[in-house]
Amino acid sequence: EHRHVGRRATLHAPLSRIRRPLAPPRQLSRASLTLGLAGAVVADGDDPSLGTELDGGLGMDLNLGVRLSPYASIHVAWLTAVHDSMPEVDTFERAVLTSFSFDIRAFLLPNAEAIEPFVQVGTGLTDMRRDGGPHRDLSGISFLVGGGVHVPLNPSIALTAFVLYRPALLEALHTEDGQSESELLHLFTGSLGMSLRL
């Protein structure tokens, strides 16, 4: 009989926990890019006001967000919409409204798989440029509040829809008659977009 004297037997045991490779930590931050079709409506204010001069508009919504946790995400957003003037307005034909904002979303059902409702608040800047009239360009600080839903289609793509109220205090930047103009714009927007996880 052939034996190896002094050699210890080799045990085929699983690697100890210390020697096992460490699993990568779970990443909570998930970046996403959303491109959507937006509709905008300006509510009537005191007559005369921008609400009585502007018709409803259509535009685009671009949103870059980061999911910080199952409960919250932060977003940088850009919205632009083109509004025709009302038929009785003869000082301009159309206006282009642009808004940049920093938003926070709070998810109400973070563990839901089919649909995730959320509420959204934020602040930013709004600019409106008209193609005529004594005060063509107006801009100012704006706020937003509203809500929507996030519907995952697969791990990489989702549908996102939301409705927001965007009050903005606008003031004239350039005047032709030496007078200034300021007004509180009551803007409501809705957007339906496709989200791509980055």
Confidence (pLDDT) at 90: 75
Confidence (pLDDT) at 100: 97
Confidence (pLDDT) at 45: 62
Point out the residues of the chain with pLDDT beneath 70. 1-29, 45-49, 133-135, 173-181
Confidence (pLDDT) at 27: 47
Confidence (pLDDT) at 179: 64
Confidence (pLDDT) at 84: 87
Confidence (pLDDT) at 23: 44
Cβ contacts of 81 within 8 Å, gap of 6 or more: 38, 39, 40, 57, 58, 59, 96, 97, 189
